[in-house]
Chain A
Amino acid sequence: DVKVTQSSRYLVKRTGEKVFLECVQDMDHENMFWYRQDPGLGLRLIYFSYDVKMKEKGDIPEGYSVSREKKERFSLILESASTNQTSMYLCASNRGARVYEQYFGPGTRLTVT
C-alpha cells in the first residue's frame, strides 16, 4: 500500500513565524503536491514537484515556498506565517504519467494566531 505521511496532524503558530510542513511518501513516486483546503473554496494547488529539486507553482503559491532535496520528501515552507494561511494542508503523490492515481496524506491542520 502506498503511504503518504505528514509531519504533524495539528500545528499552532504565531504570526510572523517560519513554518515547515513535511511530507514523506514511500512508493518512489516522481510527483508530489501540496494543496490547501478551505471551506467553500475546496482544494487548491500550492506547489508541485515532478523530480528532485524541481518545482512548479500551482494556483496559489504566494506566501509559500517548497523544497525537494530527496525523492521521498517534499517540504512546504511558510516564510512568515499570516492568519490567512490558517487552513488544512494536504500532501499528495503519484507516479510520473498523469494517468496514475494520486494518493493523499492525512493532512495538517495549521492555525496561525
Chain B
Amino acid sequence: KQEVTQIPAALSVPEGENLVLNCSFTDSAIYNLQWFRQDPGKGLTSLLLIQSSQREQTSGRLNASLDKSSGRSTLYIAASQPGDSATYLCAVPKRGANNLFFGTGTRLTVIP
C-alpha cells in the first residue's frame, strides 16, 4: 500500500528565507504528484502538478521536483513571505484508481 510521508511536520522560518519541504512515497509507480496548500479551516488549493515524465515544475516563487526512482519530491519556496504560512500537502494517485493518497503535511510559519 502506498505511504506518503512529509518531513518536517512543522517548520518556522524568518521572512525572506528560502526553504525546502520534503515528500517521500513508497510506491514509485506513480502517474503524477501534486502539491497543495491549505490555510486553517479552508479547502485545498492546488499549487503544482508534476507528471511522472517530468523532473520539475515552476510557478512563481515555487519550484517542485520529482525523483521517482528514489521516491521523493521537494517543494522549494524562494524568498518566503508571511503570506506563505499554511500547511503544505503532497499527494499521489492511488494505483489503479483516481483518488489521491495524501501526505501528513508540513505546517509552515513564516515569521515577519
Contacts and interface: CB of A to CB of B under 8 A. Distances in A.
Interface of B: 31-32, 34, 36, 41-46, 49, 51, 89, 91, 93, 97-100, 102-105
Given A31-B98, A42-B105, A58-B99, A99 B44 contact: no
Contact of A107 (B43, B46, B97): B43
Task: Bin chain A's interface residue count.
Answer: 20 to 34
Interface in A5-49: 6, 31, 33, 35, 42-43, 45, 48
Q: Which of B34, B93, B99 has the most CB of A within 10 A?
A: B99
A31 B98 CA distance: 8
A102 B32 contact: no
A66 to B, nearest CB: 13
Contacts of B91: 102
- Chain A interface SS verdict (over half): strand
A42 B42 contact: no
Given A42-B104, A42-B105, A105 B43 contact: yes
Contacts of A42: 102-105
Given A99-B31, A101-B34, A101-B49, A107 B99 contact: no
A106 to B, nearest CB: 4
Most buried by B among A4, A33, A104, A109: A104
9 smallest A-B Cβ distances: which pairs? A104-B44, A106-B43, A107-B43, A43-B102, A45-B99, A101-B49, A104-B43, A98-B98, A98-B93
